[in-house]
Each structure stands twice: as C-alpha cells, then as structure tokens.
Structure 1
Amino acid sequence: MTGNADIPRVVCAVRDIAASADQIFELIADPAQQPRWDGNSNLGGAADGQRVRAVGEVFTMTTTSGNIRENHVVEFEEGRRIAWMPADAGSAPAGHLWRWELTPIDAWHTRAIHTYDWTALTDQNRLQRAMATTTVMLRASLDRLADLAEHQR
C-alpha cells in the first residue's frame, strides 16, 4: 500500500434526522430495509425475518453483483448502536466494519453517525474499494435513511 498512507482508514458522516432513534434503528437493524438507503448502491437485497437483536448474529445480503455477503454483528445496543463486519459466504470477516450510532436529541430528532472502519482490512482484493469509500458515500446513506425515516410518521 505504498503511497496510500494519507488515505484515511476510518471515515464517518453525521446528520441530524427528524425522526426518533427507535424509528431510524428499525430501518438499520432490518437487513431487508438496507438496500432502500444504501449510499454505496451495492446492496441488492436481503431476506425478510433477519432483524438483528444481538452481538454474534449473522445476517445475509445479496450484492448488486449477485455475491452473498454474511455480516457478523460485533456491536449492538437496541435503538442506539449496531456494527457489523462483512465476510464472503462461509469465510471469516475480512477486517472492515460498518457502524451506526444514534443519539436522541429529543423525542423526534436524532443525531446519526455512520462510520466505515477498514483499519484491520488486509485482503488486497478489497483495498481498492475500501479506499474509494468516502464520507460522501456515507452521507448519501444518511440522507436516504433520513428521507425514509422522516416520511414514515
């Protein structure tokens, strides 16, 4: 990775959303909802009934290219925080992490922080895509999520 030392390995975006933390969390913790707000436009779909409820769970997604991705939940606090590490089907996680943190501002407003952390990623085949994942992409996910949550009331 010579020459890439200046590329941040942790990127995040923040947005205040006019919806409750619980309402937003439901959209994040239900994998079937994720393609609706994915700012990377690489999630094709997920089966219903995989709503995440605890660390250690694994939910499965299909990418737009048809690959199966197993997402290992490594952080979980109902209504507040969820993080997962993606892996190819049947493999260990590759070393990158997606995290969502929600902090209620009041009953109908929430600060959402979306983070992509690839500090532990060593798979050379994934480095190019990891380097291309920017705050702009994370912000796109936040904006799409906000649009969904704010219009569900």
Structure 2
Amino acid sequence: MTNPPDTARVVSAARDIAAPAETIFELIADPAQQPRWDGNDNLAEAPSGQRVHATGDVFTMTTTSGNTRDNHVVEFTENRRIAWRPAEPGRTPPGHLWRWELDPLDATHTRVTHTYDWTALTDERRIPRAQATTADRLHASIDRLATLAEGH
C-alpha cells in the first residue's frame, strides 16, 4: 500500500507535567497502570507484576477488543525513556513503536514526549489504525497521565 505523502508515519505530542519524572515513569513502566491513562481507549488490562526494568523485557496487554498483545521493550533508560513494539503472542512485531521520553525540568516538573512511529509497519491490515493514531490521541494519553501523576 502506498501512503499519501501527507500521511505522517511518526506522530508526537509533548506537554510539561507538574510531577517528578520518577512518578510519571512508574505509571508508564507498570503495564497494569497503562489502561488508566490510555488516550486511544485501546487497552483493557494487563496482569500486575510486569513492571518493565530493561530493554528485552516483554509485557502482555489485553486490548479493548479482547486481543492479547506481547509488547517487546526495545528502548529503556530508567525514569527517562521507554519504547516498545507490540505483536500478537508468539509473532514478530509488525513494525510500529510506542515511545515515551521524560525530560526533568526541575525536581517537580517534567517535559513528557509521546511518539507513535509506524515507519516500519508493513502489515496492510494495521495501516488504517496507524493512520488514525493522531497527535490528539497522543495528547489525550499525556493529559490523562498528567491527571494521575499530578494527583500523587
């Protein structure tokens, strides 16, 4: 499938959150917390006890449509950066990536950048969903994350 030239395959959103990076990172790195702030309304649940600690970790998530996803962590720096590639269980990730970057501004404020990168996505069935993942949806996740982190 050829995408129109104006179709962005890397979408990002950023916001400053009034919370320490460590507080925000815990909400992202613990998959059981992710359905609480998912702005795509795509995540239903994740078993507890899967907190990510390193590149190479894999965590399991159930989507709102009832599908299970294994998320392969491909980037990890504690309290600063985490990225994963979702896949159907036992399958190779089809090429999309979710990334979170946290840049502390001071002890109680953090710039949070959320990126969805589908430049390597080759599964034709997933292209429409990828195209529907807009900066507004990424902002919705950041806003929900902010509400949780700032409430601590």
Q: Displacement, 1:4?
A: 2.1
Q: Displacement, 1:6?
A: 1.3
Specify the alignment match of 1:11 in structure 2: 11
Q: Which amino acid aligns with 2:119?
A: T
Specify the alignment match of 1:75 in structure 2: 75
Q: Which amino acid aligns with 2:33?
A: Q
Pairing 1:106–2:106 present: yes
Pairing 1:27–2:27 present: yes
Partners of 2:73 and 2:103 lie apart in 1 by 20
Provide Cα deviations, 1:16-44, integer angstroms capped at 9, x if missing partner: 00000000000000000000000000100
Q: Please show how residues 31-110 of structure 1 align to structure 2 within 5 Å.
A: 31-110=31-110
Unaligned runs of 5+ in 2: none
TM-score (normalizing by structure 2): 0.98
Partners of 1:23 and 1:2 lie apart in 2 by 41
User: Secondary structure of the residue that 2:22 maps to in structure 1?
Assistant: helix
TM-score (normalizing by structure 1): 0.98
> How many percent of aligned residue pairs carry the same amino acid?
70
Unaligned runs of 5+ in 1: none
Provide Cα deviations, 1:41-61, integer angstroms capped at 9, x if missing partner: 010000000000000010000
4+ residue runs over 3 A deviation: none
CA gap of 1:3–1:47, structure 2 versus 1, over 3 A, is closer
Pairing 1:136–2:136 present: yes
CA gap of 1:109–1:36, structure 2 versus 1, over 3 A, is same
Number of aligned positions between the proteins: 152
